[in-house]
């Protein structure tokens, strides 16, 4: 890996970082991605929520964007470029989760789209709900009950006894998905499904999101061709195979586009006045990266963007953190979790405060570093648990931040030229 003197560095390797990278690539800038071992995108459920701009709060990042609709549109296109299995629906769909709950979501893979109440209602043929032997984290009963409540007829419980393994096996999402990656196991699975279909006349089977990791699309079409049924995957719990799929697609996208990915951590930085000139990593061979701009896309708690000692702090640059207008100095810690588990917890809305350029600012609205930008869940004001939108918000903030960086680099270039003249 070689560095030039003006690198753009993206700190983080999730969906927000993807938004930044793909926008930059579109304009001919190839950044460096600093990737942690495990980010929050690995825990992804499978539903990209756009969220509602009108009803979102005052501090929602959409409110900082110049033209949010245009940015969202662009983001959705970029996401579809990366993952061809994604389908966009005009209205949010009510999709089943592995727990048998229902979640509204806008963009999802074609197989998950089939697991929405809307598309099940359209079905004229019978729909099956899988009961998987030994697979504990799939709540078929609840799905069946909800379908009955919605007066959907022609739903059959389908028992699948394919998993005759050791009975005390701890069968989780990844066990099943990795099993279906193996050819022999997958063929056995197909034979088993054929037997079931010969007994029940189903055309769609509601299934947990475990139909393979990398070969999921291939598996899906083989099942459709050979068995004649469409598998409808629900949204996923942790450990999420859907998240792994997305993360792998991002990785191969980066590989194909020649983006340099450095697995490691930023442990420090050098600055000149209010400008970061280089980042220090924990890799001995690439210990210092000279930069022209950096984007903080480290996420919140699971991603590792926010850490705690006696109070919350931003883990890379120690940027000021905010909850609404309140700067989180000592003493705010205990108010960040309310007494009721079912409340919307303030802790999940805290983050760095940004200006319309997506640069982190302090309480006096002054920019912390001139060439530092933020994207994704590290930005304050939106909580995916709250219905403020999740992955699309993260990716679109990345896109918006990237376009601001492009402006900055262009401006600097022009200025430089004019100085020389």
Partner 1 sequence: MVNTKITSTVFDLIIIGGGINGAGIARDASMRGIKTILFEKDDFASGATGACTGLIHGGLKYLETDRHVTYKSCLDSGYIQQIAHHMLFRVPFIVPLKKNHPKGEIFLEMMETFFSAYDGFQKLKNGKKHIRLSPEETCKLHPGVSKDILGAVTMDEYGIDPFRLTILNIIAAKENHAEIMNHTEVLSIIKENGVVKGVKVFNKLKKERYSIYGKTILNATGAWSPIFAKKSGFEVKMRPAKGVHLVIDRRISNYAVGTFSIDGRQVFIMPHENSTIIGTTDDDYYGDPGDIPITNDEVEYLLQAAENIIPDIRKHKIIRAFAGVRPTIFGEHCLEDQLSRDHLIFNHKNEGFENLFSLIGGKLAAYRMISEETTDLIASIVGNTQECTTHLTYLPGSEATIHIKYLSKRYQIPLYKLERLYFRYGSRVMRILELMDHFPAMKADVCDCEPVTEAEIRYVIRFEYARTIDDIRRRTRAGMGGCQGGRCSMLMGKILKEELSLTQDEEAKEIAIFLQQRYSGNRAVLKSKKSIQQMELNMANHLFLGGLESDN
In this complex, which beta carbon is closest to partner 1, that of residue 347 or of residue 392? 347
Per CB under 8 A, the list member of 66, 145, 267, 411 interacting with partner 1 is 145
Task: Give the range of 69-77, 97-105, 108-116, 183-191 binding partner 1 by CB under 8 A.
Answer: 97-105
Candidate segments 25-33, 78-86, 181-189, 333-341, binder of partner 1 by CB under 8 A: 333-341
Does residue 308 touch partner 1 according to CB under 8 A? Answer: yes
By CB under 8 A, tell whether 341 contacts partner 1.
yes
CB of 254 or CB of 384, closer to partner 1: 384
Distance separating alpha carbons of residues 191 and 311, to the nearest angstrom? 56
Peptide bond into 321 cis (omega under 30): no
45/71 with CB nearer partner 1: 45
Would you count residue 199 as binding partner 1 (CB under 8 A)? no
Question: 314 and 305 in contact (C-beta within 8 Å)?
Answer: yes
User: Number of C-alpha atoms within 13 angstroms, CB side, residue 124?
Assistant: 0
- The 3-state DSSP class for residue 217 equals helix
Contact of 41 with 48, CB cutoff 8 Å: no
369-407 in b/e burial notation, b at 16+ Cβ within 10 A?
A: bebbbbbbbbbbbbbbeebbbbbbbbbbbbbbbbbbbbe
Q: How far is the CB of 166 from partner 1 (least distance, A)?
A: 8
DSSP 240: P
- Name 374's bridge partners: 296
- Pick the closer one to partner 1 by CB: 31 or 351: 351
Q: In sequence order, which ranges of 172-279 are alpha helices (DSSP H)? A: 173-181, 183-199, 216-226, 241-257
Determine if 101 is a binding residue for partner 1 (CB under 8 A).
Answer: yes
Kindly tell me which of 117 and 190 has the beta carbon lying closer to partner 1. Answer: 117
- Sketch the per residue contact string, 147 through 186, with partner 1: x for CB under 8 A, - otherwise: --------------------xxxxx---------------
Contact 33, 261 (CB under 8 A): yes
With H, G, I as helix, E, B as strand and everything else as coil, classify residue 216.
helix
Pick out residues in 14-53 that bind partner 1 (CB under 8 A).
43, 45
Binding partner 1 by CB under 8 A: which of 237, 295, 297, 361?
237
Nearer to partner 1, 133 or 410 (CB): 133
Applying CB under 8 A, does 94 fall inside the site for partner 1?
no
Cβ atoms of residues 10 and 297 within 8 Å: yes
When asked if residue 333 is in the footprint of partner 1 (CB under 8 A), the reply is: yes
Stretch that binds partner 1, among 130-138, 193-201, 245-253, 357-365 (CB under 8 A): 130-138
Nearest-angstrom CA–CA distance, 43 and 198: 36
Axis-axis angle for helices 173-181, 183-199 (nearest 10): 100
* Contact positions with partner 1 (CB under 8 A) in 238-267: 238
CA pair distance 203, 207, nearest whole angstrom = 13
Length of the chain: 421
Residue 100 in the binding site for partner 1 (CB under 8 A): yes
Interaction between residue 348 and partner 1 (CB under 8 A): yes
Contacts of 413 (CB under 8 A, 6+ apart): none
Among 69, 118, 125, 141, binds partner 1 (CB under 8 A): 141
66 near partner 1, judged by CB under 8 A: no
**Closest approach of partner 1 to the CB of residue 100, in Å:** 7
Binding residues vs partner 1 (CB under 8 A): 43, 45, 97-103, 133-134, 136-137, 139, 141-142, 145, 167-171, 235, 237-238, 300-302, 304, 306-308, 333-334, 337, 339-343, 345, 347-348, 384-385
């Amino acid at each position: 890996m070689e560095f030039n003197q003006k690198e753009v560095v993206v700190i983080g390797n999730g969906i927000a970082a993807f938004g930044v990278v793909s926008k930059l690539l579109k304009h001919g800038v190839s950044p460096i991605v600093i990737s942690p071992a495990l980010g929050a995108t690995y825990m992804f459920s499978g539903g990209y929520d756009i969220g509602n701009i009108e009803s979102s709060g005052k501090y929602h990042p959409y409110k900082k964007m110049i033209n949010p609709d245009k940015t969202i549109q662009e983001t959705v296109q970029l996401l579809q470029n990366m993952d061809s299995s994604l389908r966009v629906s005009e209205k949010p769909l009510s999709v089943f989760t592995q727990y048998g709950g229902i979640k509204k979501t806008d963009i999802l893979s074609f197989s998950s789209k089939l697991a929405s109440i809307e598309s099940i209602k359209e079905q004229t043929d019978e729909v099956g709900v899988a009961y998987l032997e030994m697979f504990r984290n799939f709540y078929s009963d609840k799905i069946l009950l909800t379908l009955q409540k919605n007066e959907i007829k022609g739903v059959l419980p389908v028992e699948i006894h394919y998993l005759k393994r050791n009975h005390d096996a701890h069968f989780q999402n990844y066990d099943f998905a990795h099993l279906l990656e193996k050819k022999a196991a997958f063929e056995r699975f197909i034979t088993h499904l054929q037997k079931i279909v010969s007994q029940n006349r189903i055309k769609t089977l509601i299934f947990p999101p475990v139909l393979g990791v990398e070969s999921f699309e291939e598996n899906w079409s083989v099942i459709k061709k050979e068995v004649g049924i469409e598998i409808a995957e629900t949204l996923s719990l942790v450990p999420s195979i859907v998240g792994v799929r997305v993360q792998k697609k991002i990785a191969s996208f980066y590989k194909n586009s020649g983006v340099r990915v450095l697995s490691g951590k930023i442990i420090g930085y050098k600055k000149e006045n209010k400008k970061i000139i280089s980042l220090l990593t924990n890799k001995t061979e690439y210990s210092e990266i000279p930069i022209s701009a950096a984007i903080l896309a480290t996420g919140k708690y699971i991603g590792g963007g926010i850490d705690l000692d006696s109070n919350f702090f931003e883990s890379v640059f120690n940027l000021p953190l905010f909850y609404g207008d309140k700067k989180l100095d000592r003493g705010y810690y205990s108010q960040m979790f309310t007494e009721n588990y079912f409340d919307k917890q303030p802790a999940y809305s805290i983050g760095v405060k940004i200006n319309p350029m997506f640069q982190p600012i302090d309480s006096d609205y002054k920019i912390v570093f001139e060439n530092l930008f933020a994207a994704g869940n590290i930005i304050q004001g939106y909580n995916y648990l709250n219905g403020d939108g999740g992955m699309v918000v993260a990716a679109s903030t990345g896109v918006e931040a990237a376009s601001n960086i492009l402006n900055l680099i262009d401006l600097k270039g022009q200025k430089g030229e004019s100085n020389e003249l």
